Chains A and B, each alone.
Chain A
Amino acid sequence: MIKVGLTGNIGTGKSTVAKIFESLGIPVYHADMEAKKMLKRDDVKQILRTKFGGNIFLHESVDRKKLADLVFKNAEKLNILNSIIHPLVKNHLAEFFVQMKHHSYVIQEAAILFESGFYKEFDKTILVTCSVELANKRIMNRDGVSQQEAEQRRSNQWSQERKINLADFIIENNEQDLLIPQVLKIHNTLRT
């Protein structure tokens, strides 16, 4: 079984690409979604309260918007959050791989695959790219934030060019080129 990491900067449309792979019958592990689930664990909440204080909580639950506002404006705090959540996700992912071992390949979708160094754990990596303008537009539309906030969220990620050098496959999600043929081409390569 080939382990494939699927990544892309915020707003590039990696979730849409992941859904196409899922339609083709490929198991996709959504690291960001699983990370959100981790925030509901009592032991995780306890650590977060110690590190970031009680202001990020609303009725005993982590207020993800407040947490995002805090960490996206402060790289050090983002690193602390990642150091808490990533090991947990990593363990969960290992279990997922065991369960899906009969598939020719499996995918993990993660926003900061390269930044975290986690890409080294994978046999292949796929990077979804698009222009900065298009990414900003998607973030603003999807999350209802200003352009300044959208740029702030992107600023903690590596540049696309830096990631292109590390990726095995590139998918251009620029609204002109079709996505599905690009995905099918990679799918056929990984299956054989």
Chain B
Amino acid sequence: MVDLSKLDLVQEGKKYTSTFSTSKISKEIINKLNISQEYVSISPVNIYFKLEGLYGKMVKVRPKLKLDFAKQYQLSDSLSIKPDSVMVVGPENLLDQITYIETIEQEASQIEQSQTIKTALYIPENLSTIKVLPKEVEIAISVEKYTESTIKIPVVNTNKEYKIKTYPDFVIVTYLVALDDFKRVNEEMFTASIEYVEDIASNRLKVNLERMPSFVKITKIDPEEVEYLLLKQ
């Protein structure tokens, strides 16, 4: 065993180098094994050490999950990771390459209830000398039962310079909403609009959903485009 504390270090910037002659330990081996010196040969003759200080920093954890929900179930909130940041310790030049750390990929299928997944953090091979603390995180998945519904929304023209009629003059918006929020949804919460631009080449205008409640997830707007007539003001 080489006692690093007894090495003669030579500083080169932020790094240190040292050369250890293996002949220094041949005597120890002879004594320990009680053999003649002629039987002892150590290769290599020198061991070269490169040392540098260890640094640490906190980096964000990014979950790597493949989630598949049972019918009518969806995430009710963003994923919660505990801890959301971890300490990485290692040589400065390696730490400089790390801006975040991913979890090992996990899969969950047919999810229909909230759950917590414990997962290790993924350290790429080229960064294998760094240490990560802690080595595992917990990811909380909040799940809620959703229902699909539709609502009829009038299409409005945002270009006040032109009087425009659209056909149809409404769209059917299909959305997912948590059962608890279902009764809160009403037509007033949505705005579907078209924007007419002069000299437009198309005979149809795209319908944009400008405004909608934050607690719904839009799955479809039907139709996505409407025909229009420009009317005299």
**Which residues of A are in contact with B by a Cβ distance under 8 Å?**
13, 16, 19-20, 23, 141-142, 144, 175, 178-181
Determine chain B's interface SS by DSSP, over half rule.
strand
Distance, CA A141 to CA B229, complexed state (A): 25
A-B contact count (CB 8 A): 32
Q: Which one, B169, B203, B223, contacts A180 given CB within 8 A?
A: B203
Distance, CA A13 to CA B204, complexed state (A): 17
Please determine whether A142 and B152 come into contact, CB atoms closer than 8 angstroms.
yes
Q: Which one, A141, A142, A144, A178, contacts B227 given CB within 8 A?
A: A178
Determine chain A's interface SS by DSSP, over half rule.
helix
Please determine whether A19 and B169 come into contact, CB atoms closer than 8 angstroms.
yes
Please determine whether A16 and B167 come into contact, CB atoms closer than 8 angstroms.
yes
Please determine whether B165 and A19 come into contact, CB atoms closer than 8 angstroms.
yes
Please determine whether A142 and B172 come into contact, CB atoms closer than 8 angstroms.
yes
Please determine whether A179 and B227 come into contact, CB atoms closer than 8 angstroms.
yes
Please determine whether B169 and A141 come into contact, CB atoms closer than 8 angstroms.
no
Distance, CA A124 to CA B126, complexed state (A): 80
Distance, CA A20 to CA B167, complexed state (A): 7
Q: Which one, A19, A144, A179, contacts B150 given CB within 8 A?
A: A144
Please determine whether B203 and A16 come into contact, CB atoms closer than 8 angstroms.
no
Please determine whether A141 and B165 come into contact, CB atoms closer than 8 angstroms.
no
A13, A20, A141, A181 pick with most chain B CB within 10 angstroms: A141
Please determine whether B172 and A141 come into contact, CB atoms closer than 8 angstroms.
yes
Distance, CA A141 to CA B152, complexed state (A): 9
Please determine whether B150 and A180 come into contact, CB atoms closer than 8 angstroms.
no
How far, in Å, is B201 (CB) from chain A's closest CB?
13
Distance, CA A181 to CA B169, complexed state (A): 17
Specify which chain B residues have a CB less than 8 angstroms from the CB of A175 in the assembled complex.
Answer: 223
